[in-house]
Structure 1
Amino acid sequence: MSNDNTTHFGFKQVPVHEKVTLVRGVFDSVAGQYDVMNDLMSLGIHRIWKRVAVQLANVREGERVLDLAGGTGDLTVLFEKRVGSSGQVVLADINAAMLRTGRDRLIDRGLAANIRYAQVNAECLPFADNSFDCVCIGFGLRNVTDKEAALRSMHRVLKPGGRVIVLEFSHPVDPVTEKVYDFYSFNILPKIGAFVAKDEDSYRYLAESIRMHPKQDELKRMMEAVGLERCEYFNMSQGIVAVHRGYKF
């Protein structure tokens, strides 16, 4: 349980003002191997999860999308195909190393005309009110210090009729999956991190951060509390991952 001056960093309690720096250190460390590790951690299934999230976003040609915690740009690529040349996707991340990796990757693929890049903190987005048709945060909300502030900021920059999409590791809905997932997360995943990314501690943090993330119904209530409406969630892989969706009217 955290108080007003501390928050969780994985299973540890740390001063609130230190969490951003600690999280930055994790992603500075793993940026170069992030895509490889995602494939290994999820056996490639993260690509399906992301496609489902983009489908649920219902993005159309000409719309403007904010891809928060966009990292190496997987979701930006999918959104870019949907908004077309008349739309725009802003790839945003708080971490400079991740953003650089994503930008270089997209430029190498020839995707530049309708993509912009921004280093931002999700808790205080530097965009005008009613700026985006869709705000998506993929596998990033659990790393945010003040999740309520981030959700309020996302709601503020949404246009009326816009939607927030939260794609995140969540909580398995059956005890068998939960036991298998826990064993994998705390015994196998850090070893993979040590072998592939030469960083066992960062991947142990990632596993711990998933366990500390709000459960599906709690996150839905948090979204409703900031003014999002028609909030719902969709479990995938027995609840290992969930997509939450809410609208601004």
Structure 2
Amino acid sequence: MSAGFRGIAEQLRTQIERGFYAPGTRIPTEFDLAEQFGVSRETVRRALALLKTEGLLGTARSKGTYVQHPPVRLVIARYGAVANASRERADLGPWETACAEQGIEGRAVVTAVERESAFPAVAARLELEEGTEVVRRSREMWAGDRIAQLQDAWMPAALVEGTPLAGTTKVVGGVYAAMAAHGFAPGHVSEEIAARISMGTERERLSLAPGAWVLELWRITRDQNGRAVEVLRTVANASMSAFVYDDLPIGSAGRRDQVIDQR
């Protein structure tokens, strides 16, 4: 059969969605696909490039072109469970736990831990004076052989002094478990998410094509006394991360602390 590259991409997309090619499996070579569809290898190459841009396919030296796993689903309710140090697999943080439950090899890699002065966006969210000393922890969240998220977390230096949160190594079991262990257990969180075009080095680190979209999430964590103890900024590959907010109250029960941002 003969088809343009968009038609070929559509047929492969349908096969992936219907499970003909399972996540993690290798798809046929460009040569085999060219023979199957009766087109040139260049046409096949353009179809595969489109599916890679959409996040459906990936490429690795060890397995050629393969079907990407679905986005890692991060359920907001998970964070309360992860703060419990006695839970099963307590050595894993939220990202690693979510990946493990979905059969994906996930890991969190600390790339920097530094002290700095709180700039306006961070100071406002932490309810601190601008310039107050904070500890910034930067991490890469990996899913398989790709970085799915870039994270920067800021905490008041005076609060985390002398705890693993101010150290330069990975916090085993996750930040929330460490907070709970040192007397400022998380009480509740607020999050805001927006989609935007990827920029500069983040696009390179996330292996995104020019013009690809990311999800930018800002999360404020407060302890059980209402004090802001952490602000987190996550820049996520939009095809590899899904943020799930389930069982939320609506109606009069949901209007408490409601804020409408009309900026």
Structure 1 length-normalised TM: 0.25
Bigger RCO of structures 1 and 2 (CA < 8 A, at least 6 apart): 1
Structure 2 length-normalised TM: 0.25
Higher strand share: 2
Higher helix share: 1
